[in-house]
Chain A
Amino acid sequence: MSRLTDAHVALAKEIIGRYPRPKSALVPLLHLAQEQDGYITRDAMVHIGELVGVTSAEVYGTATFYEMFKFEPVGKYVVNICGTMSCALMGSEELMHHAEQRLGIKAGGTTPDGMFTLEHAECQAACTEAPCLQVNYRYRYRLTPADLDELIDDLSADRLTHEIPPHGTVAKVRQHIASHRGVGALAPELVTESPAWLNGKAAL
């Protein structure tokens, strides 16, 4: 399928440049590939391997460790319902059951129209707002089955696109370090003595 676009290659190079070792950029670049295609394609993994200087097998090895990376197409909206203790105590099982009925799929499945993938998720760090879920990593809190219906209606009608980007995009804001402001990656071999501010007198 697809290698990274030219614009994404430029972005990838900027990201790689921040790290003392290029391989450190692997996970951020896999996110970039997923943002581009909605999932991680084989070609993207080959391309990322070329960019950071490792084999595509190494890219695959890293990528498959992490839950967020998908290797086949998923829904436009990935709905992750938390089922860990605080949410379970507050009714997440009922919520999952309702979601399965409403969407007509089991957890792990995707609707035939490609709109929704439903997943059972582990703790999402919103435990006081249980039960909670994420749609493409954007939260909804203290949901009742009726709230879930309303959410699915809104998503089906694309009424939340300003807040919830299609699956693949996580953060919509990127870090950018202007070249005149940045120090640059400090690899171990580039630094042989203690930092300037530790030598001699105080900084200010």
Chain B
Amino acid sequence: MAQREGGTVTSSYLHAPGFIAGDRPKIVTSRFEYADSYKIDRFIATGGYQGLRSALSRPAQTVHDDVRSATVLGRGGAGFPAGVKWGLTPQEVWPRYLVVNGDESEPGTYKDRLLMERDPHQLIEGCLIACYAAGLSQCFLYIRGEMAVAQERVAEALNEAYEAGYVGKNILGTNFSVDIVLHWGAGAYVVGEETALIESLEGNRGMPRLKPPFFPAANGLYGQPTIVNNVETLANLPWLMTNGVDAYTAIGTKTSPGTRMVAVSGHVVRPGVYEIVNGTTTFRDLIYGEEFCGGIRNNNALKAFVPGGGSAPWFTSDQLDLPFEGSQVGAAGSMLGSGAIMVMDETTDIPAAALTLTRFYAHESCGKCTPCREGGTWLERILSRIVDGKGTDADLAQLIEVGESICPGDFPHASNEALGLTAVPFPYKMTTICFVGPSAYVPVHSALTLFRSEFEARITKRTMIKVTAVGVSS
């Protein structure tokens, strides 16, 4: 907090807060305890750039093989294994590029910013290892426009790393040469989608491209094979190179090895960002565990939680014992997304909470696909008038009709014993190119499925108002 001395205010706001260490294995947050964790001296004194040295001492293909056999899952949202992604580039098409997705902006998500602000050299080392292993000629590190301090920390770290010979021409005296170019955005959530990110990096409006043909691995930046990796994914690579595949896979489970950064926010006692053991830690551990959030504020009851960022269908206490593991959470009707849990206690106004998310996605629609551009706005307007107590009986059916024009067919949702619901597994079908449109419907569908009576109560209130011969009475 701010310290007042004389007429000026010195503050510690430059150090991004929120990380809670705990006594658990650390792969990407091992330096967070140091105040100068972002400086090259601290980085090198704590094993920094050893992973790069280890990688450069071996043929690139074996480094790629290690990333593949360690099953380093993408931490941006889709959870696709990085080693497999790198292998999807067509043979003998050069150059190939690396684009780093540091455009973190999914509601509830707070981890990449911490990794960039607190340990930028670890990310740079990860980029270098990826470029070496997959034969990528130039790297573009795209940081969200609003993240001023992250941009400063990465710029400063890149300047240090260039100076010290870790980035640029003939890295560590070898024939490995690669530039890492810092790029920064200007405020657009949709740019977090990989093809929109590439459009933006080409200097255009950040609208997603149609896949096929624009799968980035085959046809990405400037039409060339392009690997797009998330910040946290790349931050895993230095530790993996230094400690080896066996040490990496010894943490977590077979399908979800290693650790994950998870931000838990909302109505909990100790909201925070935690590096958790992947695949085994349950939602109950995270929300109620003493080493994590320590329960719901004021000992209130849990009403619902969003398990994987604003785009993820909601869970209730019925799903608390699920582990943080992609396939199980998917079968249960949601997704892990970008590692963001938002907790709602019994005091939460559910239609209003859903509106904050639907408004977000409606606002962030790029306008390319009609179902999202029109549908998102419709959803927001209808939901908004329900929240304002002006909803009509037709509105609930209308919400679902609009939602089904974005996502036809069964929409994923969780099971619920009290309501007699069985789960519909993730994912959904969609009539849009990217996930922004469906994401506007997710909170509407979850809230309506699990808490329909709260919507009906709002509408009933209005229909009870009767116009009489002498005026309005209730």
Contacts and interface: CB of A to CB of B under 8 A. Distances in A.
A128 B18 contact: yes
A84 B306 CA distance: 13
Contact of A171 (B7, B152, B340, B344): B152
A195 to B, nearest CB: 5
A39 to B, nearest CB: 13
A175 B169 contact: no
Interface residues of B, number: 99
A125 B105 contact: yes
B266 A196 contact: no
Interface stretch (B177-185, B326-334, B393-401, B411-419): B177-185
Given A127-B110, A175-B181, A191-B95, A204 B53 contact: yes
Interface in B49-71: 53, 56-60
A65 B206 contact: yes
A31 interface: yes
B110 A137 contact: no
A195 B156 contact: no
Interface in B335-388: 340, 342, 344, 348, 352-353, 356-357, 360, 363-364, 366
Contact of B159 (A65, A84, A176, A191): A176
Interface stretch (B139-147, B316-324, B458-466): B139-147
B455 interface: no
B130 interface: no
Contacts of B162: 177-178, 181-182
Contacts of A141: 13, 17
Given A24-B203, A88-B356, A125-B147, A66 B186 contact: yes
A61 B207 CA distance: 12
A171 B184 contact: yes
Contacts of A163: 11, 13-14
A170 B421 CA distance: 49
A174 B9 CA distance: 25
A194 B135 contact: yes
B439 to A, nearest CB: 12
Contact of A67 (B92, B187, B263): B187
Contacts of B271: 127-130
A134 interface: yes
B60 A124 contact: no
Contacts of A108: none
Interface in A118-141: 122-130, 134, 136-141
B360 to A, nearest CB: 5
Contact of B203 (A52, A154, A176): A52
Given A68-B146, A86-B266, A170-B151, A123 B186 contact: no
Interface in A153-174: 154, 159-160, 162-163, 170-174
B56 to A, nearest CB: 4
Instruction: Select the residue from A128, A139, A162, A193 with max chain B CB neighbours within 10 A.
Output: A128
Interface stretch (A2-10, A14-22, A98-106): A14-22
Interface string A64-106: 0111110000000000100111101110000000000000000
Contacts of A202: 56-60
A88 B342 CA distance: 11
B340 A127 contact: yes
Contacts of B360: 84-85, 122-123
A146 interface: no
A88 to B, nearest CB: 4
A183 B177 contact: yes
Contacts of A84: 107, 310, 356-357, 360
B203 A159 contact: no
B267 interface: yes
Contact of A26 (B92, B136, B203): B203
A204 B56 contact: yes
B357 A183 contact: no
A20 B138 contact: yes
Instruction: Select the residue from A83, A123, A159 with max chain B CB neighbours within 10 A.
Output: A123
Nearest to B348: A89
Contact of B57 (A129, A174, A204): A204
A151 to B, nearest CB: 9
B443 to A, nearest CB: 8
B149 interface: yes
B168 interface: yes
A130 B204 CA distance: 33
Given A65-B206, A182-B179, A198-B135, 5 more contacts: A126-B110, A160-B9, A171-B184, A174-B155, A196-B176
17 contacts: A27-B145, A62-B203, A84-B356, A85-B107, A126-B110, A128-B264, A138-B13, A154-B2, A175-B159, A177-B162, A180-B169, A188-B223, A195-B95, A195-B135, A195-B136, A197-B132, A203-B175
